[in-house]
Chain A
Amino acid sequence: MPAVKANSNTQTSDDPAPSTPLIEFSKEQDLSAYQTMLTIRRFEEKAGQMYGMGLIGGFCHLYIGQEAVVVGMQMALKEGDQVITGYRDHGHMIACGLDPKGVMAELTGRAHGLSKGKGGSMHMFSKEKGFYGGHGIVGAQVPLGTGLAFANRYRGNDNVTLAYFGDGAANQGQVYESFNMAELWKLPVIYVIENNRYAMGTSSTRSSAETNLSRRGLSFKIPGEQVDGMDVRAVKAAGDKAVAWCRAGKGPYILEMLTYRYRGHSMSDPAKYRTREEVDKVRSAHDPIDMVRQRILEKKFAKEEDLKKIDASVRDLVNEAAEFATHDPEPDVLELFTDIYR
């Protein structure tokens, strides 16, 4: 099976929509996507290093390889839309526009982390940016995200909620309880399934009776489609379509993003369940950032030296974040007993 190959098939029971055609990006779009994806990549590489140095503790799940998914989806959103995801959440926060300093300082458990050092890698939130976490229990964010969409519908606004989850969470019962209510009540929620092919160490073929996860909404009449999650343009195009569907009041939509994580499930996972060759094949042929970079050069949107400038500025941004997160003090001991009730 090719590393990532979208079937481009949209699944719906009674209204088969055509698969979403790829859209070409403008210069600004390609450059912006490149910069954000690169920021996530460099941030995660740095977080991996800092974990190795003992500066980050606990569980730490890196997003490397999946960057095109959040960046493309974020490009389809407007102010007021909401995002919620599971524990592999650093990339989502950076894509939402959160300062890498606050994210990194949370990873190191410091006072100026996004959650004052009380949440850690898996639990970060930003009301201001419409980012609702950062949830550590597999699948729990799916009913929560459906509830965010419920609130939008209750208030009669046209905001849309993105509820991200993985191929592992896709087998959770609460996901289907959510699908049922979302379609029943026509809630504006897009279920973005980030299928990176492994639920921790179990490949989807070993854990899922139906591996085409875009079909998982069929019996609830929720349309779904598979998307090449390594191509940010394909993600953006599918995102636009799903967002339009939701804003028009047609109910939920499922996007299965075919993607791949280069690193282990978490920092402590040696990833022995797949071959080195499998990883290398994706990295060399389908890397989401390389593909944009190549395109930018081919289309002459920028020269090699312009991209190097971007690379350098991204490195600086991430280094500053790491520096900040290393020297920021630990939270005041009095914080132990704050924020339990309000």
Chain B
Amino acid sequence: MPTNILMPALSPTMEKGNLAKWLKKEGDAIKSGDIIAEIETDKATMEVEASDEGTLGKILIAEGTQDVAVNTPIAVILNDGEDASSIKAGEPAASQKAAESAPPAAAKAEAPAPKEEKSAPAPQAPATPVAADPDIPEGTEMVTMTMREALRDAMAEEMRRDGDVFVMGEEVAEYQGAYKVTQGLLQEFGDKRVIDTPITEHGFAGLGTGAALAGLKPIVEFMTFNFAMQAIDQIINSAAKTLYMSGGQMGCSIVFRGPNGAASRVAAQHSQDYASWYSNIPGLRVISPSTAADAKGLLKAAIRDPNPVIFLENEMLYGHSGQVPKLDDFVLPIGKAKIARAGKDVTIISWSNGMNYALKAADELAKDGIEAEVIDLRTLKPMDTDTIIASVKKTGRAVTVEEGWAQSGVGAEIAMRIMEHAFDYLDAPVARITGKEVPMPYAANLEKLALPSVAEVVEAAKAVCYR
């Protein structure tokens, strides 16, 4: 039976890639280990090695094809004695499998929409009526880009604007960023301002903080925030507290940024959400965006802010595309939440990747006639209590959604604020959906269980609505 070669996943979070080049042609003999094609992801170009022997019977995906979903058959290898006529049978079944592994609905909803349709919801996303963003002027032209590109653009724009801004971290320069967020910065700004560090988080976080005390504006990239635990003393004891300890004489303008929380199948030591840790600290600002536009506007604000800012990104969101306003200087206010979806029956509060569960749950709830209002906090510290309270006063019910653990989590804080400011408006106790209190397991099924799910959010929302 002919063997399909499938589009490989080249990283834990890859969903699709471009088939850049075929290095073998139909009819070529193939040995295990031969390099047969080149694939481009948004992070890198990788070579595909054959793992089977035989003859390249048919190329199913032509060179130059964009956005080929992982697991799509890209070619067929014929074993000895088989010929091209035996291929047909395999094809329909295989393509059906590919369809199943297509990008999830959220990615589709964020697909490029024609510009003139900006004010009206794009046809492919009818279920998510997004409230107009008051921070974006009416009629602004929008461009589609990934969150990764939006973050890069934010840094590049701020580096052009201010010579004191520089970026340092592991693999940020020559490698172009472990997650390609700093792609192209070295080429534009040179190695004086885009600095590869040794793998010494404690040291370079402290060095960056010292440079900030001297008046520079460093962007310190952690490959992931898991590694920032090595540096947390410098972040908290030096960066966050010096302004106070010096009676206001000496502060530091510094951004610590990088992916936070669970990625995919990287297990306990690489999958922790630090939102509640950092948002506990006076002196820090904590930002965690869910869309490309917010990522850009808030990272620019963070770089300009005279205080230390923890900027929590999410690896799962780097490749997601969104509409970013085409403005010379798009800066969003720190500390302002956004109504991502308007509703009247229940308030769902989340941020970052939690918004995926929240918005999909709102779609599900709408089918049952429950209109959920979804708030994207965007900034965790200072928290926009006003927006939360105004919504809860309207809906009388609230559900928080986060990937971090429950005890002393951000959801616990939100629930407390609602109790302090809107107790009399509540028609039900506040519910929270969090990551389960276990170290992140590796097994796919267990990992899924450890994280929040859309179903859990739907269930909690129905419960507080007594439905």
The interface of chain A, by Cβ under 8 A from chain B, is: 82, 84, 113-119, 123-127, 132-137, 140, 142-152, 154, 173-174, 177-178, 180-181, 184, 338-342
Determine whether the beta carbon of A148 is less than 8 Å from that of B210. yes
Whether A143 lies near B203 (C-beta < 8 A) is yes
A342 near B210 (CB under 8 angstroms)?
A: no
Which residues of B sit under 8 angstroms from A174, Cβ to Cβ? 202-203, 206, 234
Q: Which residues of B contact A341 (CB under 8 A)?
A: 243, 283, 285, 306-307
How long is the Cα–Cα vector from A133 to B239 in the complex, in angstroms?
A: 13
Partner of B206, one of A117, A140, A152: A140
Chain A residue nearest to B244 (CB atoms) is A339
Indicate which residue in A144, A151, A340 contacts B243 across the interface (CB closer than 8 Å). A340
Taking a contact as CB atoms under 8 Å apart, the answer to whether A147 and B198 are in contact is: no
Q: Is A180 a contact partner of B203 (Cβ separation < 8 A)?
A: yes
In the bound complex, residues from chain A placing their C-beta under 8 Å from that of B250 are 125, 127, 132-133
Q: Which residues of B contact A116 (CB under 8 A)?
A: 247-248
Q: Given A154-B211, A340-B283 in contact, is the A181-B204 Cβ separation under 8 Å?
A: yes
In Å, the complex CA distance between A117 and B209 comes to 23
Instruction: Report whether B247 and A118 are in contact in the complex, using a CB–CB cutoff of 8 Å.
Output: yes
Most buried by B among A118, A133, A143, A173: A143
Decide if B207 is an interface residue (CB 8 Å cutoff). yes
Closest Cβ of chain A to B236, distance in Å, is 10
0 or 1 for each of B227-268: is its CB under 8 Å from A? (1 = yes): 000000110011000111111111100000000000000000
Contact B246 A180 (CB under 8 A): no
Ordered by A's residue number, 24 sampled pairs between the chains whose C-beta atoms are within 8 Å are: A82-B214, A84-B210, A114-B246, A115-B249, A116-B248, A119-B245, A125-B242, A125-B246, A132-B210, A132-B214, A137-B233, A145-B210, A147-B208, A147-B209, A148-B211, A148-B214, A149-B210, A174-B203, A177-B204, A178-B207, A181-B204, A339-B246, A340-B243, A342-B243
What 4 A-B pairs are tightest by C-beta distance, nearest first? Answer: A147-B210, A143-B206, A177-B203, A116-B247
Question: Is B212 an interface position by the 8 A CB rule?
Answer: yes
Given the interface pairs A118-B245, A123-B246, A137-B237, the reply to whether A144 lies near B215 with Cβ below 8 Å is: no
**B251 to A151, Cβ gap below 8 A?**
no
A residues near B214, Cβ cutoff 8 Å: 82, 132, 147-148, 151-152
Distance between Cα atoms of A252 and B285 in the complex (Å): 34
Whether B209 lies near A144 (C-beta < 8 A) is: yes
Choice from B166, B246, B285 contacting A119 with Cβ under 8 Å: B246
| A154 / chain B contacts, CB cutoff of 8 Å | 166, 192, 211, 216
User: Across the interface, which residues of A come within 8 angstroms of B237, CB to CB?
Assistant: 136-137, 140
Are the CB atoms of B307 and A342 closer together than 8 Å? yes
Whether the pair B245, A150 counts as a contact (CB closer than 8 A) is no
17 further interface pairs, Cβ-Cβ under 8 Å (given A154-B166, A177-B198)? A84-B210, A113-B247, A116-B247, A116-B248, A118-B244, A127-B250, A132-B213, A143-B205, A144-B210, A147-B207, A147-B210, A147-B213, A148-B214, A150-B207, A177-B202, A177-B204, A178-B206
A135 to B206, CA, bound (A): 12
Contact residues in A for B283 (Cβ distance below 8 Å): 340-341
* Given A140-B237, A143-B207, A151-B210, A173-B244 contact (CB < 8 Å): no
The residue in chain B whose Cβ has the minimal distance to the Cβ of A142 is B206
When chains A and B are docked, how far (Å) is the Cα of A116 from the Cα of B250?
13
B282 at the binding interface (Cβ < 8 Å): yes
Q: Is B197 an interface residue (CB 8 A)?
A: yes
A147 to B202, CA, bound (A): 12
B208 contacts A339, C-beta separation under 8 Å: no
B232 to chain A, nearest CB (A): 11
Interfacial residues of chain B within 23-60, with CB under 8 A of chain A in the complex: none
Interface residue count for B (Cβ, 8 Å)?
Answer: 39
Q: Does B65 contact A (CB under 8 A)?
A: no
Measured CB to CB, the closest approach of chain B to A22, in angstroms, equals 33
- A144–B242 CA distance with the chains assembled, in angstroms: 12
Contacts of A149 in B (CB 8 A): 210
- List chain A residues, Cβ under 8 A from B124: none
Complex: how many Å from CA A145 to CA B203?
11
Contact A135 B238 (CB under 8 A): yes
Give the residue of A82, A124, A144, A150 whose beta carbon is less than 8 angstroms from that of B238: A144
Residue of A nearest to B250 (CB): A125
CB distance from B266 to the nearest CB of A (A): 25
CB distance from A280 to the nearest CB of B (A): 37
Q: Which residues of chain A are within 8 angstroms of B192 by Cβ–Cβ distance?
A: 154
User: Which A residues lie within 8 Å of B285 (CB)?
Assistant: 341
Give the chain B neighbours of A152 by CB distance below 8 A: 214
B227: min CB distance to chain A, Å: 13
Q: CA of A253 to CA of B14 in the docked complex: distance in angstroms? A: 47
Query: Does B269 sit at the interface, judged by CB under 8 A?
Result: no
| B95 in the interface (beta carbon within 8 A) | no
**What's the minimum C-beta distance from A186 to chain B, rounded to whole angstroms?**
13
Asked whether A140 and B238 contact (CB < 8 A) given A177-B204, A184-B198, the answer is yes
A68 to B162, CA, bound (A): 42
Q: Which of B63-106 contact A (CB under 8 A)?
A: none
Whether B249 pairs with A144 at a CB distance below 8 angstroms is: no
Name which residue of chain B comes closest to A135, CB basis: B238
**Is the CB of B13 closer than 8 A to any CB of chain A?**
no
**CB atoms of B246 and A338 under 8 A apart:** no
Note all chain B residues with C-beta closer than 8 A to A338.
248
Q: Give, as a whole number of angstroms, the nearest-CB distance from B397 to chain A.
A: 33
Instruction: Select the residue from B208, B216, B233, B249 with max chain A CB neighbours within 10 A.
Output: B249
Decide yes or no whether B200 CB sits under 8 A from chain A. yes
Residue of B nearest to A143 (CB): B206
Which chain A residues lie closer than 8 Å to B244 at the CB level? 118, 339-340
Bound: A132/B211 CA distance, A: 11
Query: Nearest residue in A to B248 (C-beta to C-beta)?
Result: A339
Once the chains are docked, how many angstroms separate the CA of A230 from the CA of B238?
Answer: 31
What is the CA–CA distance of A185 and B246 in the complex, to the nearest angstrom? 29
Q: Are B247 and A339 in contact (CB under 8 A)?
A: yes
Given contacts A125-B249, A133-B242, A154-B216, contact A340 B282 (CB under 8 A): yes
Q: A137-B233, A140-B237, A154-B216 are in contact. Are A181 and B207 (CB under 8 A)?
A: yes
Cα of A84 to Cα of B242 in the assembled complex, Å: 13
Shortest distance from the beta carbon of B198 to any chain A beta carbon, whole Å: 6
Least distance between A156 CB and chain B CB atoms (Å):
10
Contact (Cβ within 8 A) B247 A151: no
Q: Which of A132, A154, A177, A338 has the most CB of B within 10 A?
A: A177
Q: How far is the CA of A132 from the CA of B249 in the complex (A)?
A: 10
Q: How far is the CB of A98 from chain B (nearest CB, A)?
A: 12
How far is B248's CA from A124's CA once the two chains are assembled, in angstroms?
Answer: 11
Q: Is there an interface contact between B197 and A115, defined as CB atoms closer than 8 Å?
A: no
Complex contacts, B245 vs chain A, CB 8 Å: 115, 118-119, 123, 125, 133-134
Which B residues touch A127, using CB under 8 A? 249-250
Whether the Cβ atoms of A144 and B213 lie closer than 8 Å is: yes
Q: How far is the CA of A23 from the CA of B216 in the complex (A)?
A: 38
Shortest distance in angstroms between B247's beta carbon and chain A's nearest beta carbon?
3
Q: Give the most central of A133, A144, A173, A181: most B CB within 10 Å.
A: A144
CB distance from B302 to the nearest CB of A (A): 13
Q: Which residue of B lies closest to A125 (CB)?
A: B246
Cα-based distance from A145 to B214 in the complex (angstroms): 10
